[in-house]
Structure 1
Amino acid sequence: MKGYILAIMLLLGVNSLTKAQQKMPTPQEMTVKNVEELEKRLKLSPTQKSVIHNYVFDMSKLQLEMIKRQQAGTSNEDDVTKFYKVQNETNDKIRTILKGDQLPEFEKVLEDRLNGGTKKKKNKKGKGKEDEEVVTGISGLKLETKP
């Protein structure tokens, strides 16, 4: 009897841990993460950061709304088209407030996001030296096999 109770308690514990790991981020959390990355890479002024925050927050709300509809099975192809349209409009709005060196760096950020982000891969060269090679796209997801 004790074994059955212990097994049930173990299953309930694993189930609750699984649900906790599947927690969706809020639009605010997504926005903060995106804006912090842009601020770090583009060296945004406080005004630029505030305006970009508003743009990205609106896009994040739409993105999470779409994800919820997709999980519920009520999404359609028009949702994806709408999201890409809003994403492109948001990127265009961000471009209008960037200046000088920020524009080429913003394009690099967009390219990195399209390629699936940057994955850092360590290559050992020489004795004790480690250089980092940035790997983008699908190759960054492949596992290294040891000879």
Structure 2
Amino acid sequence: MKTYILTLGLVMGMIFCAKAQKAPPTPSEMTTKSIEAMDKKIKMNPTQKNIIYNYMLDLFKAQANLTKKQQTGMYNEDDISKFYRMQNETTKNVRNILKGEQQTQYDQYLEEVLRGGHKKKKKGKHEEEEVVTGIDGLKLPAGTATAAGTP
């Protein structure tokens, strides 16, 4: 009886552990999430959404393939540069589909995504950390030592 209960507990534990490990999102899931987030910032018509969805799906498929190659160690620098070229082409194609103010909103959306979203860390009860964009965000604060150990 003890063996039966112990075995049952072990099997249940393995099932819970297996469910706890989530698989990475598929390219179509990532595309859908990206389009939904983009649509909140940029009001797109259904035609624009469909066309951009196809561009983004191709990009996320390429990203998934590159990730698989990197995990197996079967990639080279040419694969990475091809992906970056595809990423730049996708951005250019999306901008071509958007009109007028949408292009400006898309640029703002991309900047926000590159910054890490719209998250702001709180310092105190009512203070928010200042978000610095552009080249100033890459500069070290004054008085911080560099990698060589010199200020």
TM-score, normalised via structure 1 length: 0.73
Q: Secondary structure at the match of 1:121?
A: coil
Over the aligned positions, Cα root-mean-square deviation in angstroms equals 2.8
Residue in structure 2 matched with residue 54 of structure 1 by the alignment:
54
CA shift for structure 1 position 12: 3.2
Q: 1:104 to 1:74 in 2, by over 3 A?
A: same
The structural deviation recorded for 1:55 is: 0.6
Match of 1:115 in 2: 115
Point out where structure 2 has 5 or more consecutive residues left out of the alignment: 138-151
How far residue 74 of structure 1 moved from its aligned partner, in angstroms, is: 1.2
Q: Which stretch of the first structure deviates more once superposed, 83-92 or 62-71?
A: 62-71
Q: Equivalents in 2 of 1:40, 1:134: separation in Å?
A: 24
Inter-CA distance 134–13: structure 2 relative to 1 (3 Å threshold): farther
- Alpha-carbon deviation of 1:52? 0.4
Question: Which residue number in structure 2 is paired with residue 106 of structure 1?
Answer: 106
Matched, 1:16 2:11: no
Residues 135 and 57 of structure 1: CA distance in aligned 2, closer, same or farther (over 3 Å): same
Compared CA separation, residues 41 and 132, structure 1 to 2 (3 A): farther
Give the direction of change, closer, same or farther, for the CA distance of 1:136–1:4 in structure 2 (3 Å limit). Answer: farther
Identity %: 42
Rg larger in 1 or in 2? 2
Q: 1:49 to 1:78 in 2, by over 3 A?
A: same
Q: What's the CA shift for 1:46?
A: 0.9
**TM-score where L is the length of structure 2:** 0.71
- For the pair 1:124 / 2:125, whether they are aligned, the reply is yes
Larger displacement relative to structure 2 (7-16 or 115-124): 7-16
- Runs of at least 5 residues in structure 1 that lack an aligned partner in the other structure: 126-130, 139-147
Give SS of 1:119's match.
coil
SS of the aligned residue for 2:25 comes to coil
The CA distance in 1 between the partners of 2:96 and 2:52, in whole Å, is 11
Could you list the runs of 4 or more consecutive aligned residues of structure 1 that deviate by over 6 angstroms after TM superposition? Answer: 131-134
**Structure 1 Cα separation of the partners of residues 59 and 36 of structure 2:** 16
Separation (CA, whole Å) in 2 of partners of 1:109 and 1:92? 14
Q: 1:132 to 1:84 in 2, by over 3 A?
A: same
- Displacement of 1:69: 1.4
Q: How does 1:1-147 map to 2 (within 5 A)?
A: 9=11, 12-13=14-15, 15-17=17-19, 20-21=21-22, 23-122=23-122, 124-125=125-126, 135=131
More displaced stretch, 88-97 vs 101-110 = 101-110
Counterpart of 2:75 in 1: which secondary structure?
A: coil
Aligned residue for 1:78, secondary structure, equals helix
